[in-house]
Each structure stands twice: as structure tokens, then as C-alpha cells.
Chains A and B, each alone.
Chain A
Amino acid sequence: MTTVQSTAPVDFHFGPIPVMHQTRVDRIRALTPTRPDMPGADPGLDVPLAYAAAHHYLEGAEPAARAGDIDLFDWYQANLDAGTGRLCASTAVGPCAVITPNELITSPISDTPFYLLGPFTDPAAAPERALARAAYKKAADTGFADLVTHHARILVFLGRKEYHDRFDSWTISRLPGTVFLDHIDDPAALARDLIHEAGHNWLNDALTATNTLLPGDAHFPSPWKNTNRPAYGFLHACWAFPLTMIYTANILDQDSELSAAGRDFLTRYLDLQRRFLAPTADTHPQALTLIPDPDLRERLRHVHAQALVL
């Protein structure tokens, strides 16, 4: 293992994304005509949180409508933000909905299980809210405030784990701004996965906002999954893993409060990520040629290059 130093902050402000967020919120809310007897959208939600919440409304209301579940459909019609406001914890990046669902949903809209905010959703208990609050602060303190502010405002906790366990996390494109995370009682470890999944949401939004369509027949060898992967997955990996490497380097360098176990966990993680990222130095430039937008292409190149020298 080698020593680490903090690296320059990443600029996550990409102009087309906030424009798309606002447009999308407006379009989703417009699905339901305004009625004086219904509260409609919560005016207290900022755009990134409203963006995440609006997709829970959309994905919840549509199946309710198709199933003819009038009560559930009416609830969503009356709660265009899917009740997000009452589920929020105050964090360093603003209010964030924090959920610990008892069970997840499976459906054709996702390859992975997921959860939709609805009338019976309860906020997470105090310990989980405190853990989330601390993780958002770790992310913000290490240069990722803008990323998690705009791309991870709904946090769904999965299983509780220990350092030696396998950690699963995911996002789904139908619920941008929501992250699904296994967790351990260590906010620095949780922040790693929070940033990783927020990174996926950022890239999905960036690809959508720039109308980027990646060819399905271009494949690249992925050291993480030890297989050839489509450009979409490869570019995502070469963006999200470098972000967690940068975060890990920063927190190891800056955070004197890390436990010995937490420091060992993150040090091993960074050391091993270096080995996975190294072989992509030759192939990532080829994959980047598939990104037509020069600004987006340069951002992906820059973060990958930053992580390569950690």
C-alpha cells in the first residue's frame, strides 16, 4: 500500500443537466392538472430533490393507473412529490429523503429490485438518519457536495453489513436522483458508495441531457467484471470508480476521525482500485471517442486521468 494525497476537486456543474432537471420536473408535474382541492407539488423542495421525487410519483402513479387502483392513483395525484418532504433528514447538502424499506419491488422497469416512495413509506429511524447525515457531510467535506446535492437526494438503505461483507449498491435509470445502498455503521464507507452511485446518476443525466446514444456493439474489456462490456457500462465504470478513488484518497488524507478499521478498509479499497483502473489507460481513450459532446468527453477523460495517478 502507498500513501495518498488529496487531489484537485472535480467540477460537477454541467450546464445541460440543471436545465434538463427543471424541464423534466415541469413535464412530470404537468401530467396532473392543478386542482384547488389537492396540494400538488411541495413548493419547499429544491429542483434536484423535486427531480428525484417526481420520478417516484411517475413510476408509482403509472402502474396504479394501469391497475385501476383508484385510491393509490389518487394519492399520487395529490402528492406530486410522492410525499418526499415528510421523509427528509436535514443534511449538509439540503434535505434528503432517507428510507429503510422492509421489502423491495421487482418489475420490468429494472434489472435490480427497487423501492418507490408511496403512501405507506415511513422515514428511516433516527440511527439511520444520523448515519446518512454523517455520510452526506463526509461527501461534502471531500469535494463532492455538488455531486450528491444534484444526484443522490433520495437514499434507500438496503442491508446492514460488516467490513468483510460484500456491499451491493445500485441506481436505476427510471429513478434518477435515488441511490440504493448497503451500509455499515461507518459514514466514511457509506459516503464512498453514495458518491459511486451519485456518479452513475450524474452520467446518466449527462448522457440524456446531451442526447448521447452509445452504440450497443462497441465493447471494451472491463477489469472490474473481468469481461468485455458494452461502451455504456465501460464508460460508467471508468467514471464512477475513479470518483470513489478520488474520494477515498481525499478522506484518507484529510479525515483524522477515521477508525483504524475504517482506514484499513478504505486503504485496501483504494489500493485494489488502482490495480483495476490501470489497464483501462489504453482502452478508455478509445471509448471516449464515442462521446460526441466535447465538454462531457473532457470531463470523463479528466476524472479518469486524475484517478490514474493516485
Chain B
Amino acid sequence: MNEQQPANTADDPISSFLESVQDLRGEDKTVRSTAHSSRVAAEGWTRAEQNTGPDTAA
């Protein structure tokens, strides 16, 4: 897709959109994922969990 420099004027749709996104996100910058790996091999369960960062869940 075409790439152009975004305009800086507040009434430009892109700038307005980005300002609104910032308001929507507020202070919530948290990004969390819940990566989970499992393996049930013939000999039984293998602990094959994948750790993808301090905030990951099961």
C-alpha cells in the first residue's frame, strides 16, 4: 500500500484518529499474552511450557 507522511494538522483524519486512540488507551499500556504449550507423548506428559515473558499466563 502507498506510504505517505502523516499530516500534523489536528483536523487531518489520521491525526484525529491517533489522538482518539491515545485517549482510548489512556494509561493502559499493558500488553500480556497467555502462551501455553502442551505435549501428551506416548510416555506421558512432557513439561514443555514456553515462557514468553514475565507477564505470560498458562
A interface residues with partner B (beta carbon < 8 Å)? 27-28, 30-32, 58, 61-62, 64-73, 77, 108-112, 163-174, 196-197, 200, 204, 222, 224-227, 230, 232-233, 236-237, 240-241, 265, 268-269, 272, 275
* A248 CB, nearest partner CB in chain B, Å: 11
Contacting pair B33 A166 (CB below 8 A): no
Cβ A68 vs Cβ B4 within 8 A: yes
Measured in the bound complex, the distance between the Cα atoms of B35 and A225 in whole Å is 11
Which A-B residue pairs are the 9 nearest by beta carbons? A236-B57, A237-B58, A272-B45, A71-B1, A200-B34, A111-B53, A111-B52, A166-B39, A170-B35
Q: Is the CB of A111 within 8 A of B55?
A: yes
Contact across chains for A65 and B14 when beta carbons are under 8 A apart: yes
CB distance from B6 to the nearest CB of A (A): 5
How many angstroms from the CA of A174 to the CA of B34 in the assembled complex? 11
Contact assessment for B58 and A173 in the assembled complex, using a CB-CB cutoff below 8 Å: no
Closest chain B residue to A114 by CB distance?
B33
Nearest chain A residue, comparing its CB with the CB of B58: A237
- Mark out the residues of chain B between 21 and 52 whose CB falls within 8 Å of any chain A CB in the assembled complex: 21, 24, 30-42, 44-52
A111 touching B31 by the CB < 8 A rule? Answer: yes
Which residues of chain B are near A109, meaning CB under 8 Å? 31
A68 and B3 within 8 A (CB): yes
Q: Is the interface of B mostly helix, strand, loop or mixed?
A: loop
List 5 contacting pairs A-B, 8 Å CB cutoff, sorted by A.
Answer: A111-B32, A112-B35, A168-B50, A197-B36, A225-B58
In the complex, the answer to whether B36 meets A232 with C-beta atoms within 8 Å is no
Q: A111-B35, A173-B31, A196-B36 are in contact. Are A66 and B18 (CB under 8 A)?
A: yes
Cβ-defined contact, B24 with A170, below 8 A: no
- Nearest CB in chain A to that of B17: its residue: A65
Check A172/B31 contact, CB under 8 A, given A111-B52, A224-B49, A226-B47: yes
B9 within 8 A of A: no
Given contacts A233-B55, A236-B58, contact A164 B42 (CB under 8 A): yes
The answer to whether A167 touches B37 (Cβ under 8 A) is: yes
| B51–A225 touching, CB < 8 Å | yes
Closest chain-B Cβ to A29's Cβ sits at a distance in Å of 11
Q: Name the residue of chain A whose CB is nearest to the CB of B54.
A: A230
Which residues of B have CB within 8 Å of A72?
1
